[in-house]
Structures are given as C-alpha cells and as structure tokens.
Structure 1
C-alpha cells in the first residue's frame, strides 16, 4: 500500500484542501460537542498552517433531514480552541464567496468551508466524481488535496474520491497513523495476538473474525456482547427467549451459520463467556453458563468470564478490541467493558481500540489516553480489519501513482 504523506510535500505557500471528519454529536442546545476527532484533526491542520500552507478545511456534519444536519459555524470555534489559531468559517462550499475567500488567503490562514453534505452531489454522484461541480470549481484554485478522514474513507463520496483524481494528494496525520497501525496489527502483530469483539454489529464482527483467523492475524478471539450470543447459538446452546428474541430482531440467522463454520474450523481459538449478568428487579445478578436458558436478557459478561479474559489479555503482546462487552450505557452493566478496557491499559501489550461505540465507551470512562491507539473510525475500521478496500484510500494510492513524480518534494539539507 503506497500513498504519499505530508513528509513528501513542500507545503509552504501552497493552497491545500484538507478533508476531515469533524462530525459531532449535539448537546441539548443543538451545538456540536468537542470530541476526539476534532482534537486529532486539529493536529494535521495546525501542522500545515505552521508550515506556511493556506489550509482549506472541508468536512461533513450529520445526514440530510437528521437533527444533527447543521452548519459548521460552531465547529470553527472548536478548531480554534485546539489549533490556537484563527479559523474563518465560510457559509459556502464552492460558490463565488468560497472561491474568492480561498484566492485571497495568506500563508498560515485556515478557512472552514460549509458542511459539504449541504451539496446534494456529495453523496449522489456514483461515478466520475472528478467531473462534479464541486471538484471542477475548487480544483483549479488548489495545489494539493489531503485526506485525513479515515472515519469516512469507506464512503465513495465526491469530496473523498473526486479530488485525488485531479490533484496531487496525500494522507494527513490521522489517516497515515490509522493505516500504519492497523496494517502492522493485521500483517505483522506481536504474538500472542488477541482479538476481542463485542457490541451489536454482529455481521461485521463475524467477517472480521473470519478474515483475521484465516490470515493468522490473531491467536485467540474473545467474544462478548451480541457477538458472543451468536457463537453460543451456533454452538447449540439455548440462551433463552429474551436474548434469542434480540437475535431474531437482528436477523442473525446467516451470522449463526457462519459462526458454526468458524467454530468447526477454529474452535480452539474462539472463546465464549462462561457466565453472564442479567437484570432482576433493577439489580445486576450474575448467573453461570449452567443456568441457561435464562428468562432475562443477557446484558453483560460475568465475573468469571472477566477474569478469564483479563488473564488472556495480560499475557498477550497485541490486543485489538472493538465493541463494548455489554450494555455499557445501562448502570450496573458497564462492568465487563470497564474491566476489559482496564486490562488492556495494564497489559504490556500494544492495544488498539475500534472507533464508534468502543471509543464512546472509552471516552465516558476517561480511558482514551490509556489505550495505545484509539481509532477514529467505526465502519471504516471494521471494513479495513475485515480485509475490505476503502474507496478513498484507493483514490490516494492511485493519485500517488499518477502525480508522485510531479510534486515538489521536501528536501533535507545536509
């Protein structure tokens, strides 16, 4: 996988479009909350500005008709807080106002364009995105394009795949780190390597398990959450109507079939819980595996499972975790998630945590800074570690082939 990075380019005086992912949840006042992505993206933006680039920031916020589909004026303030620089918000994407503002920029200036999804063609152009109005209007006044939006790289959107076709393009620091870390963990992990999967996205998790076991990227798979329920069902263990109902609602029949095949081939590597936590009259009650089937939903792993998994994590050299171990939002049932995250923190293993719900859980628990690498991607993270190509990454690779020999490279004086 060969792509270009900031280190390959002389950016002083250059006008650079930086595609980020500043997408944020909203508070009760419908204002964007500060988050890990805004903090991390600010590093790339500040570095380019400090090096004398004219930095044009592009991002999305929410989806059409959703509550969080808002303008980016408040996001500019959040960027200012992290970069400690002035950030000019422009309520335009590629019209005359935006283009004239970009043309008048000076070295070090930072401009934030309006929510890119306010343009319908961002998500509606399936092919030839380099011929879109957005790319045609902006590309002529830009020198380079930077993709720093790992979290959105699984999408085939104009702002992600269009510009690399017509401009020399490179990865920002977030994308560079994500690809470097995840490629290393998948292709050459330190052993023993442990994969811990939970959460509710069972179909994606099954694909990850299949890919990583097939490629020998992991030595043990610890199952939690709904993922564990699928494997228990695949193993012929009846877990009870309450939890089985959830599997039916998730239409998990196909995943159960895949899990059966995986158990048949890799049974010694796939570990399932030995006890569980349920809610009885508002209290957390733990039950052993022998107590199944249960009339109550299985909401978390139990203490015996926690100790079993903690011991495996303690002896690992690499740990990749995605998805909470239980219904961590519910008081009393965050225990499994908390304990496994703490085990990752205390282990000498190199630890990687997926984005999405995992990152949200880690942030709520105040543990973001205690994991070696917390991914900014949810869907992109899952697809990448399951062996799928990301369209925006492919666009960067193709751009490197096309423009690699034409860029003004950084030279080191000796």
Structure 2
C-alpha cells in the first residue's frame, strides 16, 4: 500500500461541499459525553476546512446500532460539543441521506458546518452498500477521511464513497499513515517492537510480519506464556494457546534464522488466581519464568524482565508497542506495563504506541506527551502492523 496520500492541503476546498468522515464514536453516560478526545482530535482538519471556505458535512458512527434507529446513539451530543469547540453553530441533520440531510447540505454557505446522523443507523453502511455510498457522495464534491480508527473497515462512509468522489485524507489520518508507515517501511535502526496482550492468536500475522522488519522483538503479556511453553517450560495455570505452541516454535526459529533478537520474560509475577474483580487486592510473588508452580498463574512480567525490556528500548532508534505486559487494570499487576511506558517516555527514539490498552496505559500514567505518536485506532493500527491494506486508506488518492 502506498502511504503517501494526498491531504486536504493538496486540494482547493473553497466553496466546495466536503464530506468529512470523522471518528466521533465517543463514550457517553446518561446522554452526556464522558471523553471528547476523539472530537478534539478531529478539530485541526475541521478548522482547516472552515478557515478555507469549505462547506463542511461531517459524518461518523457511534456504537453498534446495527442498522436500527436508536435515539441513545444519536450524534446530537457530538454536534453540541462541536458547536462549543468551534464557537459557531453546527447544524444537525435528522437523517443520514434523507430529505433533511440533503436540504441542509444544499443550504450550506462557505465555512458552514453540519453533521449527519449516525451512519450506522443505515443498514447498508457496514455492508459497504454501493447505493448508500452513492447517496452519501451525492451530498458533496470532495471526500476527506480523517477517521483512522475505522480505516480498517470497508464501509460506505469510510471507503465506498471514494468510488464516486475525489478522496484525500485529513490531518489525523495523514499523521497516522506518515509516522506508522515510515516506521514499518523505512525505520531508523535499531528497530524494536514490543507485543503484549492476552492471546498469541490475536497477533499471529503481526508477529510474522514484524519478524521481517525488526531488529528486536519483545513478547510480554498473556501471549508470552505460550512462547514459554514452546521452550518446554511449565506455565502452571497461566493463559495458554495450546494450539499455537508449534507456531511459537516456528516464530522462534524464524527469528534465529533472520538474526532477530526475540526477548521473552525471564521472570514473572504469579498469583493463585486471576483477580476478581479485576482491580481487587491480590497476593503475588515473583519467580523465574521456568519455575511457575502448577497451581499458580503468571499475570505480569517480573522485575528482571522489566530491566531487560527497558534496556532493549534504551538502545533503539524506533520503537513500536502494542499490548500491555500484564493485567494493567490491577495496580499490583500494572508494574510491567508501567515500566514499558516509562521506558518509551524516557527514550530518544521515535516511539509509537498502537492504540487500545497500550494507549490507555500511557494516557492514564501521564506519559502521552512524551511519546512520539499514540495511534487513535487500536484495530486499525494492529492491521497496519500486520502489513494489511486498510480500505479507508487505500481508497485515497496517491500523491
């Protein structure tokens, strides 16, 4: 996939109706937005379009209404917040491609902004229905995709509409593609990737793809225990993908053949049971990675492993991290994840955090400002690391 895509700065938007796909899938409680981060992240593109005289038609999904009209998933709360942030009214359409949306889009003047209703209220959205794509395109003259979080989905509002309109990226997508694209295509070396999370099966292709690119691959989190089992270690009650033990052996052999350093935990924090509730007090101890008792389970990386992983990060010039090192929602079992986040924050390397739990950890710990780039899309960034083509990026015009 070509990562060098045209952006809003490469086209003339003045006086043009611009359909801009954003990620306004914000959390709400009792009809109020609890975090407006995704709205704020879209503001540079929206403000650019407004300041350059575009007639802006914003669209997004929220939640999973599955083609049904659900008032609690209306984007009206987003329109209200956008109005506050822009300091001007944002017109809210009562539908997506119906009479109200068409009338309001036609009435827009230069610099005006409107928001369509939740695109997933339409049954055809997630099926990338050509008819819906065509109707969305009929509202505008240019398409801008600024929703990296949904770029791995071939939906009508993320990819289908680009079949009928000139399509470019917004600043958010441009940043994601340029930073992550360069890290994977032409990294400054040494290049270190850190993978965590629960299951090997979730990251099969990511591991395989990264072994073609990195100098060092670090494996932590629940998935590490399948690798330890592949080395012949007993892992007690730890999370184990029995069917993936041979795969892990293959990956270790591939790393050796390619001269890639593959770092696994050398010690682990263990407990008798998984914490319930997840943030409950828990009695733990640390043992060597090859000495987990049969009646205990590993729930975080140990102190020696934290040092090992931090040293690898220290010598790197590019670092990509996806997935926590342990049950980071529990204060006792968050130390491994904190250590990795701290190592990235202290590093002089280009540091990239691939969304999801890793991004949440960096933000909760206050390290976000010290990381080069935190991805806005967990699923999309994971598919990026797999080397897959993202439909919402592939459909945009090349420079």
Shift in alpha-carbon separation, 1:198–1:83, aligned structure 2, 3 A: farther
Mapped to 2, the partners of 1:288 and 1:69 lie a distance apart of 50
Matched residue of 2:332: which SS? coil
Report the secondary structure of 2:218's partner residue: strand
Question: Which consecutive residues of structure 1, in runs of 5 or more, have no partner in the other structure?
Answer: 405-414
Q: Distance in 1 between matches of 2:271 and 2:37?
A: 32
Secondary structure of 2:268 counterpart:
strand
| Pairwise CA distance, 1:9 | 0.5
Question: Is 1:39 matched up with 2:40?
Answer: yes
TM-score normalised according to structure 1 size: 0.87
Can you list the C-alpha shifts for 1:295-340, whole angstroms capped at 9, x where unaligned? 2221111111111111111111111000111111112111111111
- Counterpart in the other structure of 2:53: 52
Correspondence for 1:390: 390
Distance 1:351 1:206, change over 3 A: same
1:69 and 1:210 map into 2 onto residues whose CA distance is 41
Structure 1 counterpart of 2:235: 239
Q: Which residue of 2 aligns with 1:91?
A: 94
287-296 or 381-390: bigger deviation:
287-296
Unaligned runs of 5+ in 2: 273-280
Check whether the contact 1:90–1:98 (CA below 8 A) recurs between aligned residues: yes
1:320 equivalent to 2:291? Answer no
Q: Secondary structure at the match of 1:299?
A: strand
Which structure 2 residues correspond to residues 348-387 of structure 1 after superposition, within 5 A?
A: 348-387=348-387
Give 1:64 shift. 2.6
- For residues 188 and 68 of structure 1, do their structure 2 counterparts lie closer, same or farther at Cα, with a shift above 3 Å needed? farther
8 Å contact kept, 2:134–2:161: no
The alignment status of 1:70 with 2:73, answered yes or no, reads yes
Tell me, in whole angstroms, the C-alpha distance in 2 between the residues paired with 1:271 and 1:299.
Answer: 18
2:251 aligned with 1:259: no
Q: Which residue of 1 aligns with 2:103?
A: 100
Question: Quick one: structure 1 residues 371 and 140, their matched pair in 2 at CA, closer, same or farther if it must change by over 3 Å?
Answer: same
Report deviation, 1:362.
1.8
Q: Identify the residue that residue 159 of structure 2 maps to in structure 1.
A: 161
Partner residue in 1 for 2:142: 144
1:158 to partner: Cα distance: 1.0
How far apart in 2 are the matches of 1:83 and 1:196? 38
Q: TM-score normalised to the size of structure 2? A: 0.90
**Other-structure match for 1:275:** 267
3-state SS, counterpart of residue 383 of structure 1: helix
Residues 350 and 228 of structure 1: CA distance in aligned 2, closer, same or farther (over 3 Å) = same
Q: Does 1:118 align with 2:121?
A: yes
Q: Which has the higher helix share?
A: 1
Cα deviations by residue, 1:92-120 (Å, 9 ceiling, x for unpaired): 11111111111111111111111100011
Distance in 1, matches of 2:93 and 2:83, equals 14
Q: Does 1:16 align with 2:5?
A: no
Change (3 A) 1:356 1:309: same
C-alpha deviation, 1:68, in angstroms = 11
> Where do 1:333-348 residues align within 5 Å?
333-348=333-348
Contact preservation (8 Å) 1:154, 1:391:
yes
Runs of 4+ in 1 over 4 A off after TM superposition: 65-69
Q: How far 1:135 moved relative to its partner?
A: 3.1
Measure the CA separation in 2 of the matches of 1:296 and 1:317. 37
Alpha-carbon spacing, 1:69–1:192, altered in 2? closer, same or farther (3 Å): farther
Partner of 2:331: 331
Q: How many matched pairs?
A: 384
| Cα pair 2:31 2:77 within 8 Å, conserved | no
Equivalent residue of 1:160, what SS? coil
